[in-house]
Amino acid sequence: MFAGLLYCADCGSKLHFATCKNFDGRQDHYRCAKYKSNRGKCSAHYIREDVLRTMVLSRIHAVTTLLFDDVCAFRELLRKQRFEEAEKSMKQKKLTLAQSQKRIADLDKIFKCIYEDDIAGSISHDRFLKLSAEYEAEQTDLQTKVARLQAEIENHEQDKINFEQFSALVRKYVGITELTPTIVNDFIKKIIVHAPKKVNGQRTQRVQIFFNFIGEVDLPENTASEPTDKNSKTA
């Protein structure tokens, strides 16, 4: 169900599926590929598949319900969580991009001028070579910077388009009651599983769910924990 989507929060490795033939399906689980019964390079990042299935379905329901109840409020929630700070940063990046592009154009003009001065003998050829090398180096650095800024700005604009794609996905699967591999892969980009902890004698475990198109969503209501069994819970 979750093949290729689960990652260890500590080492970044994928979690592999393991089944217990001597027990019912409730014992099927995922664990960090680098754990290897305390002989590997990572600690146990273990989570049962039935717990994960319940958690993912619950989170899909929570996010899609929020979108259906008030699409404007959901868009605003995402804007605050993902775009508000990014918007401020994008304004500065767009300004820097424009300044860098202008400087690149100015350097072309400057280079043309010093080339003409070199031909006319207004400056020495050695001076021309030194200046041209400096200007070319500056221009190369600026071109690299411009390419990076353009990519970051394009990615930010794509995030806005992604909201509409996620909305279409929600409408496609309205009213789902159980998960299938197709639904999971359509909705989920990745899941990060943290190592379990003991809190007040109970096993707790943080699991981060990242959706396709919109990333991780911090819901306004308290969804910090999900039950695993009588003596444990997962967050």
pLDDT of residue 176: 86
- Domain contains 77: no
pLDDT of residue 22: 59
The answer on 198 and 149 residing in a single domain is no
The answer on 136 and 185 residing in a single domain is no
The C-alpha atoms of residue 227 and residue 235 are separated, in whole angstroms, by 8
Q: What is the mean pLDDT of each run of 10 residues along the chain (235 residues)?
A: 90 85 69 72 81 92 86 77 70 91 94 92 92 93 93 74 83 88 94 87 86 80 39 41
Burial class for 74, CB neighbours closer than 10 Å (0-12, 13-18, 19+)? buried
- Domain contains 2: no
Cβ atoms of 83 and 159 within 8 Å: the answer is yes
pLDDT of residue 127: 92
Domain tally, the chain: 2
Q: Residue 149's domain spans which residues?
A: 84-172
pLDDT of residue 225: 42
Task: For the chain, state the CA radius of gyration.
Answer: 27
Q: Which of 154, 172, 190 is the last residue of a domain?
A: 172
pLDDT of residue 99: 94
pLDDT of residue 140: 94
The answer on 221 and 180 residing in a single domain is yes
The C-alpha atoms of residue 75 and residue 80 are separated, in whole angstroms, by 9
The answer on 182 and 144 residing in a single domain is no
The answer on 32 and 97 residing in a single domain is no
Summarised one tens digit per residue, pLDDT across range 207-229 is 999 999 888 887 644 333 444 44
